[in-house]
Chain A
Amino acid sequence: QQQVKQSPQSLIVQKGGISIINCAYENTAFDYFPWYQQFPGKGPALLIAIRPDVSEKKEGRFTISFNKSAKQFSLHIMDSQPGDSATYFCAATGGYQKVTFGTGTKLQVIP
């Protein structure tokens, strides 16, 4: 049972462009929505996270947009760089309980 659906599975973006990855969740008890970034051969690392009491959070070139009524959230990477090439996972959790991950998006930023 996939409680967090992530799309697209893969994404190719030109350098300087905007990368957008989308996630949808089902469980309304979720109250924390992180994005993890994973480089080849490494473990995932927290990139940015949001709670449902705000609609947007920005950290540098990375922004999370959150739509509580639609139960959707997305990651936007502005001015995408080749160094952003990685796999990105959205996730959701509630009350410090176990984390449910999306299936991942492999991003390639081409020069």
Chain B
Amino acid sequence: EAQVTQNPRYLITVTGKKLTVTCSQNMNHEYMSWYRQDPGLGLRQIYYSMNVEVTDKGDVPEGYKVSRKEKRNFPLILESPSPNQTSLYFCASRLAGSNEQFFGPGTRLTVL
């Protein structure tokens, strides 16, 4: 089944404790992206990657890091999480030359 997977789905952590949210897609998509969803703000892009080793900032990159060492994986790293990063996070992927994005199921993160 073609899909985007994220792990973990739920995470409660404390301020300053480094964490990684994994994202993997099995559709051989070149483009991958991370979004955060907050009430009243919609989906805002954090980082995106156009291919292996090619990443760029989205609209809200502060406090986040990403890497793209393999085509299928695009982890999101929070090196020192803060409470304002409490949010619902989505990973998405798409083929180069296509506008249709496929989203993962989301990761709900709470930073205490």
Spell out A's residues near B (CB within 8 Å). 6, 9, 32, 34, 36, 41-46, 49, 89, 93, 96, 98-99, 101-104
Select A6's contact among B4, B42, B101, B103, beta carbons within 8 Å. Answer: B42
Which residues of chain A have C-beta atoms less than 8 A from B45's C-beta?
A: 98-99
Can you list 9 residue pairs at the A/B interface with Cβ under 8 Å? A43-B104, A43-B106, A93-B99, A96-B97, A96-B99, A98-B48, A99-B101, A101-B42, A101-B43
Name B's A-contacting residues (CB within 8 A).
Answer: 4, 33, 35, 40-45, 48, 58-59, 90, 92, 96-101, 103-106
Interface of B is mostly: loop
Residues of A within 8 A of B97 (CB): 96
The answer for the CA separation of A34 and B98 in the assembled complex, in Å, is 12
Contact of A43 among B40, B44, B98, B103 (CB under 8 A): B103
Flag if A104 contacts B105 (CB, 8 Å): no
Give Cα distance in the complex from A43 to B99, angstroms: 17
**Contact (Cβ within 8 A) B103 A45:** yes
Q: Give the nearest-CB partner of A42 in chain B.
A: B105
**A104 contact set on B, CB distance < 8 A:** 42-43
For residue B109, give the distance in angstroms from its CB to the closest CB of chain A: 15
